[in-house]
Amino acid sequence: MILTLHPHPWPDYELLDCGHFEKLERFGKYILRRPEPQALWSPDLSDEEWNRRSDASFLRSKANPESGQWTRKAGVPEKWFAEIHRQGYKLRYKLSLSSFKHVGIFPEQAANWDYLHAGISELQAHTGRPASVLNLFAYTGLASLVCRAAGAEVTHCDSVKQVVSWARENMEASGLQDIRWMVDDALKFSQREARRKKLYQCIILDPPAYGRGPDGEKWILEEHLPLLLQAVSQILDPQHHILVLNLYSLGFSTLITDNLIREYFPDADCESGEIYLPDSFGKKLPLGTFARFAKF
C-alpha cells in the first residue's frame, strides 16, 4: 500500500510557512528560519514578515554548505526544552541550534512515533512481555523514548557520542529510565547481532544519506542500505515484529523503498509512501519516504 503520511499537530510545534528553499517553524515559543532543499515553490508570507517573525535564522557557510551558523535575536537561547503530548505518551525534549541546521527533533516523525507506540502496546498485549526494540541511527532518541514509554526494552544505537548524551538528557527530562545506549556503527552492530542470533521484536531505521561511524567508518546510503536490511532481516523476530524505515534522501523514491522491503522481507504486509508536513497555508512539504509493517 502506497500512501502519504503526516502527523497530527501538537501545541509545541508548527510549520508556519515554507518556500524559496526555506521553512519557518515554531518550536515551543521560538520561531526558526532554516534551509529546506525541497521547498521549491514561493512562500505565502513576505521575506519581511519572515524576518519579523523569526527569532533565529540559519545561514549556510560559503566554504562548507553542509554547515553554517545561527543568528539570534536578543534573549533567544541556544538551547531550550519543549514537550510533545500524544495519545498514550508525553515527552520532554531539548532543542539546540546546531551548526548543521538541525535542532534535535524531526517533527514529521511523530506520525511514526504514534504508529510505534500503538504497535508496541498491541504486540505486548499478544506476547505478554516487554518488546525488545532496536533503534538504529537513533539521533536524539525521540523514537527510543516513545518505545520506552510504551513499556519496551530499548537499545538505542548511534555513532555520535554527543547525540547519545543528548538522547539521555531527553530520557531523564521525560521521567524515563533504563534505555541501553550504544555508541556504535549501525551496520556493524546489526551484523554482530545477527552473528549472535539476537532477535528484536521492533527495529527502527532512520539512516542518513551520508555519515561516519565512531571509528571513521563511511556510510553511503546507496551502497550500505541493502547490507543493513540484510542484517536486520536476520535479527527481526519472525513471529511478532514491527519495522519502521525512514529515508530522507532526494534520490530515493517510495518505489525504491518498497522494492527493498519486498526483497528482504518478502512476506511483509508493508505500507510505504511519503511523509510530509502541512504548513499553515495548506502547502505540503515532503520530508522523506517511509516503509513500515507489523505482525502481532
DSSP run (H or E) holding 35: strand 30-35
CA distance 226 to 83: 35
Q: Which are the contacts of 21, defined by CB distance < 8 A and separation ≥ 6?
A: 35, 36, 37, 39, 40
pTM of this prediction? 0.95
| 3-class secondary structure, 136 | strand
Q: How many CB atoms lie within 10 A of CB 227?
A: 12
What is the sign, positive or negative, of the torsion defined by CA atoms of 147, 183, 181, 172? negative
Does the pLDDT of residue 150 top 80, yes or no?
yes
CA distance 70 to 34: 9
**182-233: pLDDT as tens digits:** 999 999 999 999 999 999 999 999 998 888 878 778 888 989 999 999 999 9
The pLDDT of residue 40 is 96
- CATH code reported for the domain at 108-295: 3.40.50.150
**89-134: pLDDT as tens digits:** 999 999 999 988 999 999 999 999 999 999 999 999 999 999 999 9
